[in-house]
Amino acid sequence: MRLPERLALAALPTPLQRAERLSGKLGLDELFIKRDDLTGFSLGGNKIRKLEFLLADALSQNADTVLVMGGPRSNLCQAAAAAARVTGLACELVLYGDRPISIPTTLALAEESGAVSLFTGDAKRSSVEVLAKQRAATLESEGHRVYVIPRGGATAVGAVGYHVAVAEVVTQLSEFGIETASVVVCVGSGGTLGGIVSGMADLGTDWPIFGASVSRKCDEAESRILGIAGQCARLLGTSPPTNPRLKMIDARGPGYGETWLEATTASDIARDTEGLILDPVYTAKALATLGQIAADLRGPVVFWHTGGIATALDAAARRDFT
């Protein structure tokens, strides 16, 4: 495997926690939580595994500025701003919509790290792509070297972080005497699960994988995941995923970022049984889907907690998912 350069940002390995009380509530045989909410860098959750490779790639290309796309509550933007600060890079955020009247914690932390925020004025998430292209061109005309990071850090380079994380989970499960499990992961832009699919193919680990799509229709999300997985494998020179046991579940509820009663209930159960804090946009909705797929979840299950703690705290303060 041709592993790209990597920055040491995350506190790895993150714990794999047996969740007996939550498992009992959900009617599962055995449940483990992969605690990527505990990656240890600036509340960045799963984004930190991606940023270890993305920022290293930026530095290897002699970039002086990272341009990151997302929304006002983007965990990636917040974590990227912090990572840029500690590595000496300037950071600009291209965010969809208008500047919020009430600034979310993620945006406040990003700007405290020195990031400059630009807003598209258009609520469509895809609007960031046009403004980012324009802003990158302007910066480069001024003599800057710009490294662009799309929403979610969903690139082949970013997915490497989760390609290598698969071996981490396999090793941790083996310490419990477990050789196979089903894996459940929330899906936004597809980079996290794309890396996992690629990593599974590399190890020859033919485990069932369930992707809970919180922002896109399942067929679109699956296409993105498999595309990123293939690109990641080519980048690393590893075996490409040919027929992964991937099943997508619609976890959008009323819509991306919209409060969903089932997710609220799942979040409450996780808090009350295991002390887990779930964000309402990603992890809570993914956990809520376990009831839909319970019949397919025989044996041990790994639920990948991807973080989103700042978003969870904001939601709790607003009391919009209690």
Tens of pLDDT, residue by residue over 236-279, are 999 999 888 999 999 999 999 888 999 999 999 999 999 999 99
Q: Tens digits of per-residue pLDDT, 123-134?
A: 999 999 999 999
**Residue 321: its pLDDT value, please?**
41
Whether residue 147 is found in the same domain as residue 279: no
Per-residue pLDDT, averaged over 283-311, amounts to 91
Rounded to the nearest integer, the mean pLDDT of the chain is 94
Non-local CB neighbours of 303 within 8 Å, separated by 6+ positions: 19, 31, 32, 33, 34, 184, 286, 287, 290
Per-residue pLDDT, averaged over 25-30, amounts to 91
User: How many separate domains does the chain show?
Assistant: 2
Its domain, for residue 116, covers: 47-153
Q: Tens digits of per-residue pLDDT, 100-110?
A: 999 999 999 99
d(CA 229, CA 192): 9
**Residue 198: its pLDDT value, please?**
97
Whether residue 251 is found in the same domain as residue 125: no
Q: Where are the alpha helices (DSSP H) in the chain?
A: 20-26, 47-60, 75-87, 105-112, 127-141, 156-175, 191-203, 218-236, 261-274, 283-288, 309-318
Please determine, for residue 295, whether its predicted confidence score (pLDDT) is greater than 80. no
**C-alpha distance from residue 84 to each of 38, 56, 237, 274 (Å):** 20, 10, 28, 34
Q: Tens digits of per-residue pLDDT, 206-240?
A: 899 999 999 999 999 999 999 999 999 999 999 99
Q: Tens digits of per-residue pLDDT, 108-165?
A: 999 999 999 999 999 999 999 999 999 999 999 999 999 999 999 999 999 999 999 9
Complete edge-to-edge strand list for the sheet that includes strand 30-35? 16-18, 30-35, 300-305, 182-187, 209-213, 246-250
Q: Which pLDDT band, with edges at 50, 70 and 90, does 298 fall under?
A: confident
In a domain? residue 4: no
**Residue 293: its pLDDT value, please?**
85
**Residue 142: its pLDDT value, please?**
97
Per-residue pLDDT, averaged over 294-319, amounts to 87
In a domain? residue 8: no
Non-local CB neighbours of 275 within 8 Å, separated by 6+ positions: none
**Residue 319: its pLDDT value, please?**
60
Q: Which pLDDT band, with edges at 50, 70 and 90, does 291 fall under?
A: confident
Whether residue 135 is found in the same domain as residue 219: no
**C-alpha distance from residue 222 to each of 47, 58, 60, 137, 228 (Å):** 20, 28, 31, 32, 10
Whether residue 162 is found in the same domain as residue 268: yes
Q: Tens digits of per-residue pLDDT, 67-103?
A: 999 999 999 999 999 999 999 999 999 999 999 999 9
In a domain? residue 11: no
Of 153, 186, 214, which residue constitutes the final position of a domain? 153
In a domain? residue 5: no
d(CA 78, CA 85): 11
**Residue 322: its pLDDT value, please?**
36
Whether residue 121 is found in the same domain as residue 177: no
Whether residue 31 is found in the same domain as residue 91: no
CATH number at residue 112: 3.40.50.1100
Whether residue 148 is found in the same domain as residue 168: no
Please determine, for residue 320, whether its predicted confidence score (pLDDT) is greater than 80. no
Whether residue 180 is found in the same domain as residue 309: yes
Whether residue 143 is found in the same domain as residue 235: no
Q: Tens digits of per-residue pLDDT, 277-290?
A: 999 999 999 999 98
Of 118, 153, 188, which residue constitutes the final position of a domain? 153
